[in-house]
Structure 1
Amino acid sequence: MLRGLYTAASGMITEQRRHDTVTQNIANINTPGYKQVNSINRSFPDMLVSLMGDKQSGYAKRIGKLTTGVFAEESMSSFVQGDLRETGKASNFALMTSLSLNDPATGQPIPFDASGKYVSEDGEVIYRPEAFFAVMDNNDEVRYTRDGNFTVTANGELRTSTGQRVLNNQGNPIVLAQGQSLEYMQSDAQGNLFTYDDTGTRVDVATLGVSVVNRPQELVRDGNGVFRAKDPEAADIQPLPQQGLEGVQVRQGYLEGSNIDTAQAMVDLLAAQRAYESNQKVIQFYDKSLEKAVNEIGRV
């Protein structure tokens, strides 16, 4: 009976975490570049239950398997491309990505599903490479984001909406010269910022630092739509080549919206609530059964 209590309790904890994850997604529907989080649940290993036999025969009758509950193993980020929204602001940038990857065995493009994942015949899970803006926090640590809502400080530093410094293709913070303004600058598809002088000559200002993460599942959320790489080598992070890369485009005057499916999020929210209530009723049933066993049956 106590095993049932533990199973129901683990279900309640799991559904609570699932509910919190969906709530976080809903709260960030309007956050530029936000990537949806999916809660991955796993069951505990099944136990083989047998009826022990007598000492002479040693015969044990197999009863069956006992499921010992479920737990929230991890939260996975979905890096699916969000919709681009035109803002008309020169300080807004968005990344349009549709990177492909070839299978080393066949040389053919890997057919990723809608979530950017592919499972090979031998069970290996492969994720589609993704591109991010490279930024630097106050501790001089490199971070990665899809939020291109940039601003310029009084001293000319290009920063994100959360105050992180935007890096160039050399890994250094972008600082505009005195008198320069993003409002008068243009950007090409590779993120090269440029303007024109009085004679009509193009003047290159800087190049936005765009990094291609070949294993985005290795990134860790750092809050505010920002990711960090615990092991850059494991994540296989490469700078965007100067000549650009097919499948990656920088769009000026646009912002990438969150990739949250609002309808599915509401369904998941209600499902988590109903599952939580069901496990709660199971615990109440076990509680009443234990009360009856102790106070009534045990009194006989």
Structure 2
Amino acid sequence: MLRGLYTAAAGLITQQRRHDTVTQNIANINTPGYKQETAVQRAFPEVLLAMTGGYSDNPNRTVGRLNMGVFAEESLSPYVRGLVTPSGETTDFAVESNIIVNDPATGQPMNFDSSGKYVDENGQVTYRPEAFFMVRDEEGNVRYTRDGHFRLDELGTLRTSSGAEVLDENGDPITLTGSVKDLKVNGRGQIQGQFREGDQQTEITLGISIIDQPYQLIREGNGSFRLDTQSGATARLLQEDDVVEIKQGYLEGSNVDATQSMVDLMAAQRAYESNQRVIQFYDASLDKAVNQVGRV
């Protein structure tokens, strides 16, 4: 009888994690460049039930299979682009990318679906590469972000809203002089009319990296991600034939679907309540078995 109690308890934990994931998405619905998380649920391995004894011609008669509950296996982030809207700030940037990848079997461009996924005839899944800004955190680690809400500090260093340094294509922090109002950046991320520290004018280009497997990125908070090299994911610099455009004075919003998030939130709450009632039922049954039947 306790099998159902453990199954319901596993359901409670899973729905709580699902609820936490959805509430995090709702809390960041207005965060530039935020990528929503989706909790992936997985059932425990099936257990085969069988009856010993039985008829002579079938001594081990199979009853069936039973799952012992579910658990929240992981959280995945769909890296589809959020809505790009004008902000009017010269230090705000949005990345619009449509990287073309050819199918090695046919030589034709892959037709990615709305989630950025392509499945070939053999069932092999390929995800569309995505473009990210290169930044460096306080510990000197290179990270990647789609949050283009940048600012200049008192020394003229271009930083993210969380304080990370924005890097150029050479991996160096971008330091500018002059008025922010005069800052001009073209569609390839090249900064025009600005100077690096020193007396000579230098060409500066925003560091844009192409992540070939964006689903292998690991979320680190503050809108930044790190590359999981152990999974085989790689990052490369923007190339001339990449279909990527940098839009100055625009920001990419989060890709959180508010309507679907509210539906998922209510579904998680209802499932949590259902598992809770199952536990209450088992608790009442155990109470009768111990305190009432046990006295007879």
TM-score when normalising by structure 1: 0.92
Q: CA RMSD in A?
A: 1.9
- Kindly tell me: are residues 233 and 263 of structure 1, through their superposed partners in 2, closer, same or farther at Cα, counting changes over 3 Å? closer
| Structure 1 contact 32–147 (Cα < 8 Å) conserved | yes
- Please give the alpha-carbon distance, in whole angstroms, between the structure 2 residues aligned to 1:266 and 1:115: 20
Question: What are the equivalent positions in structure 2 for 1:118-267 lying under 5 Å apart?
Answer: 118-177=118-177, 180-195=178-193, 205-231=203-229, 234-241=232-239, 243=240, 245-246=242-243, 248-267=244-263
Question: What are the equivalent positions in structure 2 for 1:1-300 lying under 5 Å apart?
Answer: 1-53=1-53, 59-177=59-177, 180-195=178-193, 205-231=203-229, 234-241=232-239, 243=240, 245-246=242-243, 248-300=244-296
- Please give the alpha-carbon distance, in whole angstroms, between the structure 2 residues aligned to 1:138 and 1:286: 52
- Cα drift, residue 196 of structure 1: 8.0
| Structure 2 contact 25–36 (Cα < 8 Å) conserved | yes
- Please give the alpha-carbon distance, in whole angstroms, between the structure 2 residues aligned to 1:273 and 1:6: 19
What amino acid sits opposite 2:274 in the alignment? Answer: S
| Structure 1 contact 91–151 (Cα < 8 Å) conserved | yes
What amino acid sits opposite 2:88 in the alignment? Answer: G
- Please give the alpha-carbon distance, in whole angstroms, between the structure 1 residues aligned to 2:194 and 2:176: 15
- Please give the alpha-carbon distance, in whole angstroms, between the structure 2 residues aligned to 1:157 and 1:17: 39
Moved more, 132-141 or 82-91: 82-91
Give the corresponding residue for 2:198: none
Give the corresponding residue for 1:200: none
SS in 1 for 2:39: strand
| Identity across the alignment (%) | 54
- Cα drift, residue 166 of structure 1: 0.2
TM-score when normalising by structure 2: 0.93
- Kindly tell me: are residues 163 and 281 of structure 1, through their superposed partners in 2, closer, same or farther at Cα, counting changes over 3 Å? same
What amino acid sits opposite 1:245 in the alignment? Answer: D
- Please give the alpha-carbon distance, in whole angstroms, between the structure 2 residues aligned to 1:99 and 1:204: 29
- Cα drift, residue 58 of structure 1: 8.0
- Please give the alpha-carbon distance, in whole angstroms, between the structure 1 residues aligned to 2:57 and 2:284: 40
What amino acid sits opposite 1:181 in the alignment? Answer: S
- Cα drift, residue 233 of structure 1: 7.7
Moved more, 136-145 or 284-293: 284-293
- Please give the alpha-carbon distance, in whole angstroms, between the structure 2 residues aligned to 1:221 and 1:170: 24
| Structure 2 contact 227–234 (Cα < 8 Å) conserved | no
What amino acid sits opposite 1:94 in the alignment? Answer: A
What amino acid sits opposite 1:189 in the alignment? Answer: G
Give the paired residue count: 291
What amino acid sits opposite 2:182 in the alignment? Answer: Y
SS in 1 for 2:193: strand
**Where in structure 2 are there 5+ consecutive unaligned residues?**
196-200
- Kindly tell me: are residues 128 and 76 of structure 1, through their superposed partners in 2, closer, same or farther at Cα, counting changes over 3 Å? same
- Cα drift, residue 244 of structure 1: 5.5
